[in-house]
Amino acid sequence: MNEPTERIPLDRTGPLPVAGEPEARPSAETGATPYPPAPQAQAPRPQVSPPPPARPRRRRGTPIVLAALVAGLVGGLGGGILAQTLEVDGGTTQEPGATAGLPDPVPVAVAPDGSVQALSKAVLPSVALISVGSAGVEGQGSGFVIREDGYVLTNHHVIRPAAGGGQITVELPGQEPVAAEVVGSDPAYDIAVLKVDRQGLTPLPFAEPDSVEVGQTVVAVGAPLGLDSTVTAGIVSALDRPVVAGQDEAVSYINAIQTDAAINPGNSGGPLLDLAGNVVGVNSAIAQLPTSARSPAGSIGLGFAIPAEQAERTATQLIETGTSQHPVMGVHIDLLYTGDGARVLDEVRGEASPVIPGGPAEAAGVRPGDVIVSVDGTRIRDAQHLLVELRSRQVGETVEMVLRGEDGEERTVRIVLAGAED
């Protein structure tokens, strides 16, 4: 497993706000600062060279605002204190893979030459521009069809501005915009599923688990800065990159695919595809240089996508039940601990018991004050890293943990992860 990148601020890649926002304030919980507000939507478009003559383009809606790049949610790996616990209250246990998958989609018609041109032609009709609020005034992002009967997958943070019942519109290439309803949304995995009143859509298939390799060519499709049907290409730069993005109640934990394909605000929720037209990931976050934390953010070749297996599993649960379960081990972690690894609380603090009675950790012999050194051979750096590792697993999965007790001795335990809903 690759070590997590340290102290690289992360920015959500969408939604792309097109109106002013309240002044940003530092967050004591995450040690991160939201971006300053964007100017009003009447700001001019970025200056570009005139394009050659082209066929008429369909309506784009609200003009693009260059300064809108600065808006979004910011997080940092290892940065600050995260108010997150691992608990099993009200949770259930199930066998890994017990949830049925999405219906097998008919493969998209990608030409056998494996070219980006052929791929683009095949998948573009299935990638949507998602607008939140009237004419996208609350923001814009991307999404893609996962079932022919109108189900569309996107990021939670794309549709978050509509949490109070705001308007969401889905627009597929060559089709009129259509209103969408939220089937379900999961902030921790940053996945949301929408439903539109359309039939006969072309869903994009998810890649098989473990089929993604470092160095392979991938293509990102979406609507950066509201420019829908945009295609960029690159490679898989790294796998299993621990990413913590967002803040407050909308923090997500991703064992991410890293890519150098250009991903910008508005790409959020769009697919990252292999050359066979399979979705290998869902574009979700980008990194920015520490010196530019309060400057306009754009692609610097460090983009992150939620792996297809996680996205498909969460989407399936949201469609079937409206909610999704997270794997938990049943402990409360000491967020003040600064050493390597993640330490279980050594005593009861308030109402937080170090080891949840009756939970998986208690059954495995985890004790208060134990430091979780590794999970399935991956060394744990801190509490956030532990959360990323656990959230990448399935409910019912057995993990092997190396623990270091208060006496300094290490021991190995096996824990069957339970399921809980946040």
Which residues touch 56 (CB under 8 Å, ≥6 apart)?
A: none
Q: Are 132 and 142 in contact (CB under 8 A)?
A: no
Residue whose tokens read 């100017």: 39
Q: Are 370 and 403 in contact (CB under 8 A)?
A: yes
Going from N- to C-terminal start, the domains of the chain cover 1-84+95-324, 326-420
Active site residues: 157, 190, 268
Does residue 419 carry a pLDDT above 70?
yes
Segment 306-317, tens digit of pLDDT? 999 999 999 999
Candidates 113, 74, 124; CA nearest to 289 is: 74
Asked which of 50-54, 96-100, 234-238, 254-258 is least confident by mean pLDDT, the reply is 50-54
Q: Are 218 and 261 in contact (CB under 8 A)?
A: yes
Residue whose tokens read 């959020």: 268
Q: What is the pTM of this model?
A: 0.76
Neighbours of 336 (CB within 10 A): 10
Q: What would the two tokens of residue 184 be?
A: 């379900």
For 3, the 3-state DSSP assignment is coil
Candidates 114, 110, 279; CA nearest to 208 is: 279
Neighbours of 169 (CB within 10 A): 22
Residue whose tokens read 């018991």: 353
Q: Pairing state of beta strands 279-287 and 326-328? A: unpaired
Burial 94-122 (b: 16+ CB within 10 A, else e): eeeeebeebeebeebebeeeeeeebbbeb
Q: What would the two tokens of residue 343 be?
A: 């330490």
- 326-420: CATH topology is Pdz3 Domain (2.30.42)
CA 262 vs. chain centroid, Å, equals: 17
Confidence of residue 294 (pLDDT cuts 50, 70, 90): low
Segment 81-123, tens digit of pLDDT? 223 344 444 444 455 544 456 776 666 656 557 799 999 999 9
Confidence of residue 420 (pLDDT cuts 50, 70, 90): confident
Q: Are 408 and 339 in contact (CB under 8 A)?
A: no
Does residue 36 carry a pLDDT above 50?
no
Domain 1-84+95-324 in this protein, CATH class: mainly beta
